Structures are given as C-alpha cells and as structure tokens.
Structure 1
C-alpha cells in the first residue's frame, strides 16, 4: 500500500505540473476558478462553504504548479507491521521530489533504516541508484521531462481518471473522450510500451473508464442515445478522427441496428438477477428496423427485440498520437450473437455485454403485459398483430439446440423473462442452445392452440433445416408452463382416434364438411409426435385438469371468450350438417377453460396418452406449504393432476403456480438442458462448445426430489 500511496502522490504532482496542457488539467483548473471564464460550471446548492473554499484552494494550487518553472515536494510515509510474536514494527521513509523545467528531475528516498536510493532524469538519460548497495543503472531518454513521463502507465491512468472526473463536473464531452483515449493508451500501448499486468488493480478501472468515457463522449444531444458514426471529435489537447463502416449496422437476415442506448445507464427492476459479461468496450442495447419489409423473409426474430451490442474504439498508435495531439481511430460494432472477443495487440480479449439490460429494456417497451388478458378473451388477437406465433431474441444459429418456451393461461412470453435471463447468463447454456418463445391466445381450444404450435415448429424446421442435416435442430427441447405444458405434450404423443372419439363416434371422413374444416380437425385431433422434438419439460401442468378451471366463476368468465374466426366457421360447418353425429352438439365449441375442467372428456383422455418412445419427459411440480406433497397444490393445479408416470425425472418446488422464476425450477431446467447438451454432443459432435459436467442425480424413471 505504501508504494501505491507515494506513486499516486507523484503522479498527481506530475500531472498537474508537467502535463497541464496535454491533459487539459491547467485549462480545467482555470475554468474551475470563479474568476475565470463564464463557462465555469456552478457548484451545486448542496456544496458547503468549506467544500467551495477547498475547491478554490486546490484550483489555485493546481494553476500555480502548472506554471511553476521549479519546485520541490517532500513526502513523509509510514506504516506499522505486527510480527507473529505480537511486536509492532514501524517502517517509514522520506521522499523528496525536485523538479526543474524543462528536463531536470530528481527523487531521493531515505528510509528510516538509513538506506538511501533514488531516481534522476537530466534530459539525456534516466537513472536509478542505491547508495547502500553502491549500484546504479541508466538508460538513454533524450528530450524534455514531459516527453519522458507523459506516456508512462501511471501518468496515463491518472490523466484518464482526472479527465473523467472533470467531464462529470463540467459536462464537457471532449473530456469524456479524453478519458477513453488515455485509458486506451494505458491498456494498449501498441508497441510503445508494456501493457498492464493482469493483476494490476487499475486494469478493471481502466476498462470502465474507457467504456464510460466512450459512451458519454459519443452521446447525442438529447443525452439518451449513443451516436455510432464517423466524424472528427474535439479533444482538450487536439482532435480524434474516427471512421466507421456502416455495414456493421446490418444484423440478422434483413435488419438494421439503430437507437443505441448505454446499457450501464439502465436501472433494472423486475428481474431477480443482472448478468454482465465483463470485458472491453462499451455495452449498449440496440433496437432494430427491417430494411426491406416487402421482401422480408420471416427470420422468427421478435419485431421489437433489443440487441446487446458492444462498441469498441480502436485507436491507432495511441501514445504517439497523444504526443502530437492528433489521434485516429475506428469504431467497431458487434452484436453478442456475432462475436465474444476482439483482437488487440495480438491478444484476444473478451467483449463486454449487458444482456440483462437489453432484456429489461425490451420488456419495458413490450405490449405483452397488456396483451395477456386480451389474448385470453380475443381469440384472433395474435393473428391480427403478427404473422407468426413463434419468436426469438436472436437469429437462428446452426449447431445450437432450440429450446421452445410455451406460456400458460392468461399469460405471455414475458413470464419466462427471469428463467431465460438466469439460464442464458450461463455460458454453458448460451453457447449450446437458442431460445424461441411461442405465444398464443390462451382462451382458444387447446387442440387448436396445439395445432398452431405444431405448424410454427414445422415452419421453423422447414425454413432453417429443410434437409434435416442440423443435429441440433433435430433435437429440440420444449418447455410448457400450465396450459402450455398440455400444448407441449401434444407435440410428443400419438393420439390415434382417441381425441376424435371424444367428439364423435363417427369417423371424420363420414361427416359432411368443407375441405378447410376437415383439414383443421385432422390437424388438431389426429396427432403424431414431431420427429425433431426429443425432450419435453412440464411445469405446473394440469394433466388431469385444474380444479380452478372447474369453478363456477371461471366458467362464467369463460363465457366472454371470443373464439377465432376460423374455429367459429369450422364449428358452424360441423354443427349444421352433423349435429346428430357429434358429442359436443349440446355444449357447443369448447374453450381452453372447458378443456381443463377435470370432468371434461378431452383432458381425461389426454391424461391416458403417454409420451411417445424416444422423447424424454420431465416434470416440475409446484406445491405450496409444508404438508404432504401428494395432497398439495400450487393454488391452481393439484399435485395429483401435475404428476404423471413415465417421466425421466420429477422435482417438487415449494412455490405457487407461477414457479418459472423459482430458484429450484431454474436449477432443474439448467440440469436438464446440460444433460441434453451432453447427449447431443456425444451423439453428434455439436453442442460441445464449452466443457461441462452435469449434476445428474434425477435420471431414473419416476424419480422424485423436493426442492425448497
């Protein structure tokens, strides 16, 4: 600690006296003086008189030292060390700095043990000496003292800190950019010095000064967004010429990145955890716009997605540029889907991203929250609002296993935010999986919503893997909460005529129907397992119905559900010519609430159909309280309804029905996904991007564990 203290003192003195012009310190000092220019930022009303007086004293001291041709400083240091015996030993030294412009400097260190060593510079050489050891060493270093010390790591780091501090006090963006420039020169000497040691305590601070200085220095006039563009930017001691290739704004198949918001400025609420991936560069959250909407091919990326991106300013020969005052650099923009590292000075360095900030920013502008109840009552809402029910937060990437999230009743994809944030904060998950979210109008008949899910999954597989050559695409994982679990199950079962038999005792081909109605019934009620679905996760799923769905109030509310137009048309078609052949003629077309009523023939029949061979199934069941699990409930679904035989694992979490963000739920899903990645990696050689071990205790059939 003692070395850091005296080095900091020396750095402050050198910065003020020798580097006033390049750092803008002298200019800053003069501007901070109340007697100087009218551009001086006024002290806040909360400043005390003592603080104002201290600032004035410091300002006068800095201004005087910046102009002084000669001065000396004496620093007394001391510290105590307690020996193992308990005895306290005091150490200390006297350090005298003597400066004479333009090229004379001497440091003498006299320790209390009598030893004497030091450092000197005479405009031609730099030397160190030790009187007690009778040794000395010199190195040629012609020029002024400013030239000798301006680009030392200590000076560069101090100048970065001072520039950033003054930028915050004055609001002047050129000082923010100066902080970024000095920090870059400290981190990346570009052949003009040695980069900081990996354990240098200033290393992380320098990365932050660079990131925040770059972000604040490039803010638009409104102070809300970062302007990613080429230009010539003023610095306190010169200028920075920046180039930028606009092609870097292109993202996904047909989108342009726009409206860059500093991720560090976003305050996150509503999510359990915030995940930052530390590294170099400024983390931003970008919006996207379609480039050619008329010819746009559906890429299944959510239209209002916010993309985590990194902005990196690569400065050419920064230390040489500081000496001349004319610096040049290039802005580099990367999305987290495109790169994890950047190469600088023959080193691959991690890029900094803030995916949680981008996710929260997206949710704050989303219409999903207000659409949850509307989607329950209005069966055609999604069809009006969007072309597909399946959406991702990033473009499709071959070799990554798709995980499909399917929400429950009167809910939306936003309910998966916490578990998605936690899982994708794990590089083992992020590097081996890709997430898609299925959204549907939850009041519709379950078989109809399941048919929409099946169509969406087939469309994705057909578009991105038409020949079935991507092993990861052919091994999807589906996860459904509540009603969503029933939709997921219908992707992994073979029903034969069992579901149709709950509707009619007459074969489908004997009914009088239009071709459109017949196709809809065939798709909805005669189900076969999708060949690319290999693992399913049921979360709080009412396999035998929900006792809440059987209540009078719920059924009264369900009367206000408006079914989709094509369902109503098919229902009219069926009933008009076949009423005597149908079992539902008296009750009319069912809603999802009808389907999930425990006494309903549909849910009773679906419960008897097992998951198809070759598909691994897992149950996550929520139970409230401390009573017997078998008699428990999550407030909506009883344990006895959520439990099914034949699953590969079952875990019970202590939670209410909305158990998606429960820590036990998150960890169980993580375990299941890592197991899937391990199997796929072993079988095919994909999903092997990071080595990992799976804590896989729950692998036997009907295994049950309880998580609090």
Structure 2
C-alpha cells in the first residue's frame, strides 16, 4: 500500500466515524413529552378528526396511504374489496373502513358514507366468525361503538339537524342499498306513541349539576309521547322520554357481498331496557337520562306555574292536586313521592331526580312520583288533596297489580311540602277542630259541602301506605319569614279556591260565640299557617308520627356557626328540628337545598335503608 493509499484509507475511516457519531441510526427511539404520547395513543376520527394509528397501519399494509390522500373514494372502494376477500384480518380492516368512511363523510357531507361507517363498525364489534373476536381492552372497541352510534345519528338526521328520522325506507350505500324496516308497534310504549326523536348527544345540558351517560351501543334520543287514550291509575309526565335506537344487521357479512343489506330498527325506552341481546350476549345500550330530563324541563310553562300556583288558588286542576310520574307504574318498585315547597314546583327536584335515576341501586328499587299543588292555599287544604290523590292512585293501582310495593311508600317534602308530607302520617283527632270552634262539628249549622270540606281538612287519619317520611328544611314550628310584614303583605294577593272561600263565608254566617277564630279579615292561606305559634304549628306539636312510620330530618343551616343557633334564611334550626326522628342530617346550605349534593346523598342513604328494611318486612328484594 502506497503512502497515498494509506492516507486515503485513514481519511475514510475518520470520515465514517465522524458521520456515525453525528447522525441518527436508521431505526431507533426518541424520548418525547407526555402530551405527544397522549395524542399518539388516543387520536381517532371521533376525538380529534384524525385517523387512529390502527387505521394508518392498515393503509400502509394495503399500500393505500397515498391513494386515500389522492382519491379517498376510490381508495375506500379498493379497501372494501380487500375486506371482502380478506380472511385473516377482517377486524382491523373493518375498523379502518369505519373510521375512513366516517372521515370522508364528514369532509364531504355525504350521508351514504356515514351509513357505510355504521355497517363497518357493526362488523368490527359483532364479527360473525368467532375467531375474529376482539380484545375487550382494545381502545378500538369504544371507538367503533362511537362510530356506529354517531354514524347512525348523522346518517339519519333531518336536514335542519333537529330530529333523527326513524322510519322504514331504502337508502343508497357506496357499495349497494340499505333497506331499513321499522314496524309501527316498535314506536309504541304502554299506551303512548313515541315521536320527534331528538339526538341528545348533540344537546348541551344546562341547569343540572351532573350529566350521566351509560356507555354502550345505539343512539340515545329524547322522544315526545303522544297518549293513545286515558291514563290508567297514574298520570305520566308529558316530557321527553329517554330512548335508544339500535339497528340490527343480521348476517351482515353475507349481505355485504350481495350488495343489498337489510337493517331492522329497534327502539328501547331507557326505563325498561338497559341492554340488548346481540349474537347471544347482553350488550349495554347507550342511554342518557339527564339530557331527556333537561329537555323536558326546558318548557317555560313548567317554571311559570310556580308563582301562578302560589297566587292563583285554582290554577292547576280545580279541586284536586296533580300527581305525575316519569314512567308508567312498575310493580315491585317502591313509590317515592316528592312534594315541593312554597312558590316552587316539581322542576326543583331535577338534580335530585337526575342523580338518583343514574344510580341502579336506587332506580331498580324505586319509582318517582311528583305532587304539584297551589302553594298559596291553606296547608291543611293542600294536605287533604295530597292524601286523597295518593289514596285514589293507590286504590286504582291495587285493583290492577295487588303489589306490596304500594304499601311501603316514601313521602319526601321540602319546606311547606314537608308539612304536607307529615300530614299523610299522623292521627289528629279533634286537635285542629278544637282550634276553630267550641262545639262539635256535627252541631255546627253549615252546608253539607262545607262540612265535608272541614272533615277532609281537619280530621286527619294516617295513610296506611306511607311508611317513611323525609323532611327537608321543613318549618315544623313555623318560619320567622312567614311572620314578617313583607310576607303578610304578599299573602294578601293570594287568591284562594272558590270552594274554600265558599266554606269560609259559610262559617262567617255562624254566631260569633261558635268560633274561636276571628275569620273576618283573617288570612287563611299557607303563609299564615307557617307563622310560629299558628294553630297548625301548635296542633302538629302535639301530634307524633303514626306507629310504624319512620321519619328523617334534613336541616339546612347557613354558615359555619353552631347549628342550634342557625337558620337557612327562611327556617331556623330549632323550627326544623323534630324530636323522635330516626335520623337528623345537617347540610350547610340556604333554604333551597334540594340540589345540594349532601342533601341528595342523604336521601339516597335513606332510600337504600328503606329498601333493605322493606326487603325484610314486605319481601321486596331486588
């Protein structure tokens, strides 16, 4: 080797060493930040508008990466044929087709590709070849379910995007035709027809603390209900019904090869069904109670009637209160009756209802009823309406169901509603009448109508169906606000029911020595009854709960001071405190504490206790 050659060799060795130390190897790893890792692991067409790494792998393996970029439609067609011919990797290819079809549909606004995405997602989730079943920990499972749900929603949504169109029909696919069947009877629930299906995934919920969703398969919807006839036994709320639409696609792989696919819509209401059977397995349905509840309460009339119900004595249903339920009667589930307070309404129970309905341990054991009444009326009058409405409802249901759950009722009331609740489970004898007159009622010369009204209001016997009471911020001994000058002035504007005013006029015609009360100019509405020292407060102070009835107090106290000296802005602790209760719970809150999470959790605790005890006493075990 010459000197020149030797110098050249050394130069090559040194140059190679320098290059190797200054450049990366063809294959290796690089540490990146956690945000980059999170994006790489979780990106998909639903969450970020980008295809997932799983789909990108399929495009590279099938050499379609550039083709999809240049001509997505042709690339999807090619991948579709690969999928039909492929025997070993159908799952990964089906997922890729679902994601790519969804992305193309989104970019081009072509519903036909949303429908295709739903079919591919269905094939990935429910493969007909058992050897292709997926790993349940694979993130593609949840993504595929979302692709199926969202694709059906968008593929069948109306042009104005307000409702989802559920009906039989024929629809074009990129590779054939989808024929959808939906018999009319699948849109009927009890004695109602379901219509106007709003996709709740596209609704933003306001006014409720929590939004609950059961993840699963299908499109969660809020449906209107059209009654087919008279309600039997229990009036059902007119609000939105939570339902889930599921399209069943039997033998889809074989149908896909032929190009004509038959799909069957199935519509399930969330109160009855939480799973659907697919290929012999129970699969959770996608369910949203919260959004349907919020959509129901979006009606301004629900809130306008609160003040109307305080000032106008005949605003609701004439001579009767109104008892409604969210769902038809369910045998074996214990009724829980919510009774709202003054100048309030059933909508104020929304957060509590939302949280309790989302808990299967509560929902599977209880059903919720709501009593609405005109809150300016005399409390004893409203309490009589509550008792009579419950008696009539239970009597009608007993004839049909003979259900022991009806004999284990829970009544729960806030503020004035707590007083009405208490008056379902006491034996008063002559206590209230003795505050009115020195003579027996039988000796009083009044009309039969007035006598009947007085008996209903003042001579109270406990309802045998009520077994537990829950009082929330209830002024058992009166409210200091009710005794204020402002409250007295406000009470003057309350219009009492015509029948009640007729009874008062009848009593005023009696000799003065017959009555203890001076009814001339006296305010007999609910506000005066809630004053400390009122005849109602004094009468209830002498009246314990009926034997066999359990009572619980939830008392609101504002601030951090001693509870014994505190109040909630309307009711003092000392007024809300009641001896003989099974439990007393303090929540640091203002008077309207129904939505307070501590209040709700205490109600939940009491209901589960009740369920446990009624399992032993009535055999009502879940």
Superposed pair shares fold, TM > 0.5: yes
2:77 and 2:240 map into 1 onto residues whose CA distance is: 51
Is 1:270 matched with 2:207? yes
Asked if the contact 2:83/2:94 (under 8 Å) is kept, the reply is no
Task: Tell me by how many angstroms 1:6 deviates.
Answer: 7.4
Gaps of 5+ in 1: 19-24, 30-57, 69-100, 103-142, 690-708
Q: For residues 211 and 582 of structure 1, do their structure 2 counterparts lie closer, same or farther at Cα, with a shift above 3 Å needed? A: same
Is 1:363 matched with 2:303? no
Q: For residues 150 and 229 of structure 1, do their structure 2 counterparts lie closer, same or farther at Cα, with a shift above 3 Å needed? A: farther
Is 1:238 matched with 2:238? no
2:463 and 2:534 map into 1 onto residues whose CA distance is: 26
2:490 and 2:82 map into 1 onto residues whose CA distance is: 85
Pick aligned residue for 2:194 from 240, 257, 273: 257
Task: Tell me by how many angstroms 1:397 deviates.
Answer: 0.4
Is 1:656 matched with 2:593? no
Is 1:404 matched with 2:337? yes
Asked if the contact 1:192/1:319 (under 8 Å) is kept, the reply is no
Asked if the contact 2:378/2:524 (under 8 Å) is kept, the reply is yes
Pick aligned residue for 1:286 from 223, 232, 241: 223
The 3-state SS of whatever aligns with 1:364 is coil
Is 1:13 matched with 2:30? no
Q: Deviations over 1:250-274 (max 9, x none)?
A: 113x211111000101101110101
2:77 and 2:465 map into 1 onto residues whose CA distance is: 76
1:669 and 1:620 map into 2 onto residues whose CA distance is: 9
Is 1:309 matched with 2:309? no
Question: Quick check: which one's helix share is greater?
Answer: 2
Of stretches 632-641 and 173-182 in structure 1, the one that deviates more from structure 2 is 173-182
Asked if the contact 2:377/2:496 (under 8 Å) is kept, the reply is yes
Q: For residues 64 and 479 of structure 1, do their structure 2 counterparts lie closer, same or farther at Cα, with a shift above 3 Å needed? A: closer
Q: For residues 207 and 505 of structure 1, do their structure 2 counterparts lie closer, same or farther at Cα, with a shift above 3 Å needed? A: same
Q: Deviations over 1:149-182 (max 9, x none)?
A: 6971111111111111122222221111111111
1:260-659 to 2 correspondence within 5 Å?
Answer: 260-292=197-229, 295-297=230-232, 299-302=234-237, 304-383=238-317, 389-466=322-399, 469-584=402-517, 585-588=519-522, 590-659=524-593
2:290 and 2:446 map into 1 onto residues whose CA distance is: 51
Determine the structure 2 residue equivalent to 1:217: 155
1:173 and 1:408 map into 2 onto residues whose CA distance is: 49
Q: For residues 517 and 275 of structure 1, do their structure 2 counterparts lie closer, same or farther at Cα, with a shift above 3 Å needed? A: same
Q: For residues 500 and 229 of structure 1, do their structure 2 counterparts lie closer, same or farther at Cα, with a shift above 3 Å needed? A: same
Task: Tell me by how many angstroms 1:321 deviates.
Answer: 2.3
Of stretches 164-173 and 460-469 in structure 1, the one that deviates more from structure 2 is 460-469
Determine the structure 1 residue equivalent to 2:48: none
CA RMSD of aligned residues (A): 2.5
1:426 and 1:357 map into 2 onto residues whose CA distance is: 16
Asked if the contact 2:84/2:257 (under 8 Å) is kept, the reply is no
Asked if the contact 2:551/2:582 (under 8 Å) is kept, the reply is yes
Determine the structure 1 residue equivalent to 2:90: 152
Pick aligned residue for 1:176 from 114, 130, 136: 114
The 3-state SS of whatever aligns with 1:328 is strand
What TM-score do you get using the length of structure 1 for normalisation?
Answer: 0.77
1:308 and 1:460 map into 2 onto residues whose CA distance is: 25
The 3-state SS of whatever aligns with 1:546 is coil
Determine the structure 1 residue equivalent to 2:604: 670
1:343 and 1:323 map into 2 onto residues whose CA distance is: 25
1:90-129 to 2 correspondence within 5 Å?
Answer: none
The 3-state SS of whatever aligns with 2:391 is helix
Task: Tell me by how many angstroms 1:340 deviates.
Answer: 1.7
The 3-state SS of whatever aligns with 1:673 is helix
The 3-state SS of whatever aligns with 2:436 is coil
1:284 and 1:145 map into 2 onto residues whose CA distance is: 32
1:66 and 1:464 map into 2 onto residues whose CA distance is: 58
Asked if the contact 1:571/1:589 (under 8 Å) is kept, the reply is no
Q: For residues 185 and 587 of structure 1, do their structure 2 counterparts lie closer, same or farther at Cα, with a shift above 3 Å needed? A: same
The 3-state SS of whatever aligns with 2:317 is helix
2:380 and 2:75 map into 1 onto residues whose CA distance is: 81
1:373 and 1:67 map into 2 onto residues whose CA distance is: 62
Q: Deviations over 1:582-620 (max 9, x none)?
A: 223344350100100113122222122111111000000
Task: Tell me by how many angstroms 1:517 deviates.
Answer: 1.4
1:146 and 1:344 map into 2 onto residues whose CA distance is: 22
The 3-state SS of whatever aligns with 2:384 is helix
The 3-state SS of whatever aligns with 1:502 is helix
Q: For residues 589 and 396 of structure 1, do their structure 2 counterparts lie closer, same or farther at Cα, with a shift above 3 Å needed? A: same
Determine the structure 2 residue equivalent to 1:98: none
Task: Tell me by how many angstroms 1:297 deviates.
Answer: 3.6
Task: Tell me by how many angstroms 1:499 deviates.
Answer: 0.8
Q: Deviations over 1:31-53 (max 9, x none)?
A: xxxxxxxxxxxxxxxxxxxxxxx
1:150 and 1:561 map into 2 onto residues whose CA distance is: 77
Determine the structure 1 residue equivalent to 2:70: 59
Is 1:685 matched with 2:619? yes
Asked if the contact 2:242/2:288 (under 8 Å) is kept, the reply is yes
Pick aligned residue for 1:203 from 137, 141, 146: 141
Asked if the contact 2:83/2:90 (under 8 Å) is kept, the reply is no
2:143 and 2:41 map into 1 onto residues whose CA distance is: 19
Q: Deviations over 1:118-144 (max 9, x none)?
A: xxxxxxxxxxxxxxxxxxxxxxxxx97
Q: For residues 537 and 6 of structure 1, do their structure 2 counterparts lie closer, same or farther at Cα, with a shift above 3 Å needed? A: closer
1:487 and 1:423 map into 2 onto residues whose CA distance is: 23
Gaps of 5+ in 2: 1-36, 43-51
The 3-state SS of whatever aligns with 2:462 is coil
Q: For residues 650 and 165 of structure 1, do their structure 2 counterparts lie closer, same or farther at Cα, with a shift above 3 Å needed? A: same
Question: Quick check: which one's strand share is greater?
Answer: 1
